[in-house]
Amino acid sequence: MSIINVSNLSKVFKYYKKSEGINASLKNLFNRKTLYKTAVDNISFSIEKGEIVGFIGPNGAGKTTTMKMLSGILHPTSGTINVLGYEPKDQNNELKRQFSIVMGQKNQLWWDLPAIETFRLNKYIYDVDEQNYRKKLDELSELLEVKELMDVQVRRLSLGERMKMELIASLLHDPKVLYLDEPTIGLDFVSQKKLRDFLKYYNEQNGITILLTSHYINDIEDLCKRTIIINHGSILYDGALDKINRDYNSKKIIKLKFSNQIRQDVLSTYGYVNDYNEFNAEIEVPRNMANEISRNLLSDLPIIDFTIEDMPLENAISLLY
């Protein structure tokens, strides 16, 4: 069952051109040139209950604008959005109780107060009864391993600890939909992994629907079976993550390990040499010839180990962009 439905959604921002200098400022008082920027351009998609969907694209592609419209922060120029049976632009209180949005570059925690103060405030904002509040707080703080940090001022926490507190604040009222806009930005790889593990477990246990934007491909690969790719406000791809390489990347990587030294010019006769030293190499070859080239390599060279892999997912996504 779809709980998020987006149909022919567009968002156009109006702004004004201004030249440099005082004379230009005076002129603009009477005659301003109006310009228009289409941030989201006639996109449509739906998301099923319990899905974790990656929503990716380069900077300025329209990801955050779309999320803000899904949460009612921005109103669409045209098109329709339906989330859990409500239109977000109507600012319905019942819908607000059923979703959360976490933005990696925006804070909802009070900087000079312990996180527990924000949690208590959210309890009253979302009208969570004391028993459920305590139960959810204990569960989340234990899963995220921050129980002993809730009484510490937020400004004294590390970036990873603060992001864990942001997630707790967003999940205390048990939302059905969670929008995550670059939640791992700036985190070290250990903190990123812990956050991903938590989100995967929480989704499995609670069936929460998650729409995730991230510039870290590991976030998308670890969490999302489905990906929506957007650029210049338009959807370029909507489908299974593992199909992107098969459909859009015509290359494979063959990794080789040799028992004797092999010259690079010898390897270049089989394909493009990406990486090389005398005993190890990576060769880029056409996908449809990978098996044939592998057989030739094994018969011609002193190979003690080899693997055939897809090109990095970033390559295929870059081709889409």
Task: Specify whether 271 is located in the same domain as 241.
Answer: no
Task: Specify whether 182 is located in the same domain as 129.
Answer: yes
Task: Specify whether 129 is located in the same domain as 209.
Answer: yes
> Whole-prediction pTM value?
0.83
Lowest mean pLDDT among 58-72, 222-236, 300-314: 300-314
Q: 5: burial class by Cβ within 10 Å (0-12, 13-18, 19+)?
A: middle
- DSSP assignment, residue 83? E
CATH number, domain with residue 316: 3.30.70
- Cα torsion 132, 133, 135, 141 to 10°: value is 150
Position 246 scores a pLDDT of 76
Q: CA angle at residue 15 from 9 to 18, to 5 degrees?
A: 160
Question: Do the Cβ atoms of 169 and 115 come closer than 8 Å?
Answer: yes
The size of the chain, in residues, is 321
Distance CA 86, CA 96 (A): 10
Query: Where among 245, 273, 301 does a domain terminate?
Result: 245
Position 24 scores a pLDDT of 67
Q: Please tell me the number of Cα atoms within 13 Å of 29 on its side-chain side.
A: 4
- For the chain, the domain total comes to 2
Task: Specify whether 254 is located in the same domain as 208.
Answer: no
Distance CA 201, CA 32 (A): 53
Q: 64-122, pLDDT tens digit by residue?
A: 999 999 999 999 999 999 999 999 999 899 999 999 999 877 788 998 999 999 999 99
Position 247 scores a pLDDT of 76
CATH number, domain with residue 235: 3.40.50.300
Task: Specify whether 235 is located in the same domain as 265.
Answer: no
Q: Which of 273, 260, 249 is nearest to 300 (CA)?
A: 260
- Asked whether the predicted pLDDT for residue 1 surpasses 80, the reply is no
* Domain, as residue range, for 178: 2-245
Task: Specify whether 13 is located in the same domain as 115.
Answer: yes
Task: Specify whether 48 is located in the same domain as 183.
Answer: yes
